[in-house]
Chain A
Amino acid sequence: MPEDKSIQELGLDEYKYGFSDPEEYFFKTPRKGIDPEIVAMISKHKNEPEWMLEYRLKALESFLERPTPQWGGDLSELDFDEIYYYIRPMENQGRSWDDVPDDIKNTFEKLGIPQAERESLAGVGAQYESEVVYHSLKEEWDKAGVVFMDMDSGLREHEDLVREYFGTIIPADDNKFSALNSAVWSGGSFVYVPPGVHIDIPLQAYFRINAENMGQFERTLIIADEGSYVHYIEGCTAPTYTTNSLHSAVVELIAKPNARIRYSTIQNWSHNTYNLVTKRAVAEENATVEWVDGNLGSKLTMKYPAVYLTGEGARGEILSVAYAGDGQHQDAGGKVVHAAPNTSSLITSKSISKGTGRSTYRGLLKVHEGAVGSKSRVECDALLLDENARTDTYPYIEIEEKKVNTEHEATVSKVGEDQLFYLMSRGLSEEAAMAMVVNGFIEPIAKELPLEYAIELNRLIQLEMEGSVG
């Protein structure tokens, strides 16, 4: 981004956060790479409390100490010194649809989301280069005491609440990438739903990366208090660049007794992005957490949404769909840990590999001693569209309790020639028939998404499949 624009041109005089130092409104780390100085700069720029700076610095140590994982995807080309760890965008936070940047609107356009529906996308928070540029909270949520804001604002306005829960589900030193995120996090969403409040309309946020070599490290924390309900939707679109970028988010969900959280994601990163995300939820007594996770794009995705069932009667559900095209590796899956009696879980994974794409299901199902009456089912289906495509399934199943019932099943198949023949004999082109079969394959996941996201997912897959038959 140009560094010589005036504050007026950037519209920063309207900037609502009112940082103490206006010179700092527009800010990018002075150099690539990461060290304590860079981390301190980010923290200072955000005017954070001392404890957060300390948290970041400690996380940095852990990041630097930890080796790059040797399992999963190939991370050998990922160069941590070639990345800007913080850039603040030029836009300010929009308040209406008109303020949303054109590229985001164009994405809606491309995905064929009708205007009427775009209007109904009130409540969209769009993250633009590590910072939230658009938020519009519906009044009734305010009235109900629901908090939905970007994480930076959350830290300023609800410091005690953030401090109580931040990093409790995913400790900074959980893994190399959660440590990195904890050191340089910026943006993401903070959601708190008070006891008994049901939010019917999903909270939504759009993210994208559009500065070369820029890491994006959003941090999301969602707390659903007792008996509440919230559905949060995160979606990503990213234009393509020639050098690798890194997206490494941390998402923590806490479902208090009898609460329910549903977290839906459709991610479509550009094909040179490393998408390395840690997502974990805790479900207390009789609470339910559902992850609906769609992964397209990226060079390599490593993402295993987890649910820890810590209270009796808790339920976890993970629906994961992955599409790996040429040169892509989707290493995704899910983890469920049964740590209380009468808990139940379901993992459903669907993957499609095309061209030289590779999709991997990697999962853990663990039943701790004492989690009597746990029931769990894992289903993985993989569809291969080309002879060069590859699919793997690595489910770990660890059972320490006898009064349980766990099942795992996986199938791998190619698109049935008889299915294609049937559709083509009725006048569909091979390409259209193929797309129809694939859409049918992912339907169990798509039907769990709100309409516009289901449409988006289907369209994204159609865009990916264009010219796939030859």
Chain B
Amino acid sequence: MQQKEAPEVLKSKGITEETVKALSSFKDEPDWLAEKRLSAWRAFEALPMPSLRDEAWRYTDISDVRIEDFLPYAPSPDVSSEDELPEAVQRLIKEGEENSALLVQHNSETAYSRVDDEVGRKGVIFTDLHTALREHEEIVREKLFGLVPEDYDKFAALCAAGFAGGSFLYVPRGVDVEVPIQSYRWLDVVGSIMPRTLIVVEEGASVTYIDEYASASAEEPAFSNGAVELYVGEGAHLRYVSLQNWERNVLHFNTIRSEAGKDSTINSLVVALGSQLSRTNVEAGLTAPGSDSEMLGLYFADQNQVLDHHTLQDHISPNAHSDLLYKGALRDESIAVFSGLIRVEPGAQKTDAYQTNRNLILGTDDAFAVSLPNLEIMADDVKCSHGSTTGQVDDVELFYLMSRGIPRAEAEKLVVFGFFGEVTSRIPLKGLKEKLDRAIEGKIGLGFEERVA
């Protein structure tokens, strides 16, 4: 992609109204979007910074997050082929799923994107947001900010005001994209990355999309603040994966919201392994009769990480089904927060909704697990249930394995794999599963052998 020189104001730290305006004119945006950014900026300024006094943030301390310390924009080197991408990114691509389309956002800009001919011929559009704005303005204007509006919360407002890069996927009616579509966000500066993902899957179409976040190791804090909007039409099927594996200097904020057509299916998987602090909101709108949402989550916190997931199964229409399973492991002094809500609106009869959160505490006693599985039910003909468990590796299971000659450390590893297996076994993506297994193994690391049994 041809990059042009960014204005000076985008090269100094901090995000202000001026940078928002500069970004908009630098990108030659249409008036409606420039205005949108400004109104988002005003929303950001008006909203107080969340604190521990806010119910939704009571376990997640973000008082150290100083948005003024981050570069608002960082350019990306120009790349014309996959083998010119940073080696680390090439490695990520190699280790991932086979893909039929690829987009790499490097810092604030899209460095590279590719759509296989076979997929392109079917009318599938996959590109960065600004290209989409130029070439498909009408649909972008209709859908962008529709699910994650600027007033959703403080961070969504900032993302709406200051987003750059981002990706747009459009799958036309009836088109079945068999091979996954893959996007990578790569960060190698001490800056901010504010990607927006907009996915529109038309009636009867189906696609798998993988969003992966990774960075170069650094000391200074960096900031990732994203928004993901998923529109899935009648009878359509979307499998959406978010794999967050930032280095430990990154603060990660993301909001993923979906709208479901009649009899549609959305399978989401949200994985949090990296970052210093990660806060992800995942909201599935069961907005049409017969819609179905499977929500899987996997997180593994170690050292002093804080991994926070807030989920919503929003049953607005009758006869819809949702099933959530979030499983997490904790070690060291880490904190894991799960707060999930099943909300059944009046009139959403014949709702069938489940929610399970399980936490496994490993190693030392300094980890802190919080689980808030909530229900709000305003219709009477429903089946809703939720469950939450927190515990340690079961001694009986360990004993069973050790009595068969498996050393303790290995046995514990197996138990942890078994624990996450309940989630990973539900994902029909071999490459991704292997990637997760390796990451989990790395997380388990040497912690066990050193421990006094």
Q: Do A and B come from one complex?
A: yes
Chain A residues proximal to chain B, CB less than 8 Å? 71, 369-370, 382, 384-414
**How far does the alpha carbon of A97 sit from the alpha carbon of B249 in the complex, in Å?**
74
Considering only residues 353-378 of chain B, those with a C-beta below 8 Å from chain A are 359, 361-378
Please, which residue of chain B has its CB at the minimum distance from the CB of A390? B378
Centre residue among A370, A384, A399 by max chain B CB count within 10 A? A399
Known contacts A408-B387, A414-B380; is-contact A400 B373 (Cβ 8 Å): no
Instruction: Check B386–A406 contact: CB distance below 8 A.
Output: no
Instruction: Check A399–B359 contact: CB distance below 8 A.
Output: yes
Q: Among the listed B375, B387, B392, which residue makes an inter-chain contact with A402, where contact means beta carbons less than 8 Å apart?
A: B392
Smallest CB-CB A-B distances: 6 pairs: A402-B361, A384-B380, A393-B375, A397-B371, A408-B388, A412-B384
Q: Among the listed B349, B366, B373, B388, which residue makes an inter-chain contact with A387, where contact means beta carbons less than 8 Å apart?
A: B349
**How far does the alpha carbon of A435 sit from the alpha carbon of B73 in the complex, in Å?**
65
| 6 A–B pairs (Cβ distance < 8 Å), ordered by A | A369-B365, A387-B349, A389-B380, A398-B368, A404-B361, A408-B389
DSSP class of A's interface residues: helix, strand, loop or mixed? Answer: strand
Is B346 close to A, CB under 8 A?
Answer: yes
Instruction: Check A397–B388 contact: CB distance below 8 A.
Output: yes
Is B55 close to A, CB under 8 A?
Answer: yes
Known contacts A71-B55, A390-B376; is-contact A404 B385 (Cβ 8 Å): no
Instruction: Check A386–B392 contact: CB distance below 8 A.
Output: no
Instruction: Check B373–A410 contact: CB distance below 8 A.
Output: yes
Instruction: Check B385–A400 contact: CB distance below 8 A.
Output: no
From residue B444, how far is it (CB to closest CB) to chain A in Å?
A: 15
Is B174 close to A, CB under 8 A?
Answer: no
Chain B residues proximal to chain A, CB less than 8 Å? 55, 59, 346-347, 349, 359, 361-392
Instruction: Check A399–B375 contact: CB distance below 8 A.
Output: no
Which of chain B's residues have a CB closer than 8 A to the CB of A394? 372, 374
From residue B400, how far is it (CB to closest CB) to chain A in Å?
A: 18
Instruction: Check A397–B386 contact: CB distance below 8 A.
Output: no
Which of chain A's residues have a CB closer than 8 A to the CB of B389? 405-408
**How far does the alpha carbon of A17 sit from the alpha carbon of B187 in the complex, in Å?**
79
Instruction: Check B390–A406 contact: CB distance below 8 A.
Output: yes
**How far does the alpha carbon of A284 sit from the alpha carbon of B270 in the complex, in Å?**
43
Instruction: Check A395–B388 contact: CB distance below 8 A.
Output: yes
Please, which residue of chain A has its CB at the minimum distance from the CB of B367? A402
Q: Among the listed A384, A392, A408, A409, which residue makes an inter-chain contact with B382, where contact means beta carbons less than 8 Å apart?
A: A384
Instruction: Check B368–A399 contact: CB distance below 8 A.
Output: yes
**How far does the alpha carbon of A229 sit from the alpha carbon of B388 in the complex, in Å?**
34
Instruction: Check A411–B385 contact: CB distance below 8 A.
Output: yes
**How far does the alpha carbon of A403 sit from the alpha carbon of B369 in the complex, in Å?**
12
Please, which residue of chain B has its CB at the minimum distance from the CB of A380? B375
**How far does the alpha carbon of A384 sit from the alpha carbon of B59 in the complex, in Å?**
32
Known contacts A395-B372, A396-B372; is-contact A387 B392 (Cβ 8 Å): no
Instruction: Check B381–A399 contact: CB distance below 8 A.
Output: no
Q: Among the listed A370, A399, A413, which residue makes an inter-chain contact with B383, where contact means beta carbons less than 8 Å apart?
A: A413
Instruction: Check A411–B384 contact: CB distance below 8 A.
Output: yes
Please, which residue of chain A has its CB at the minimum distance from the CB of B353? A412
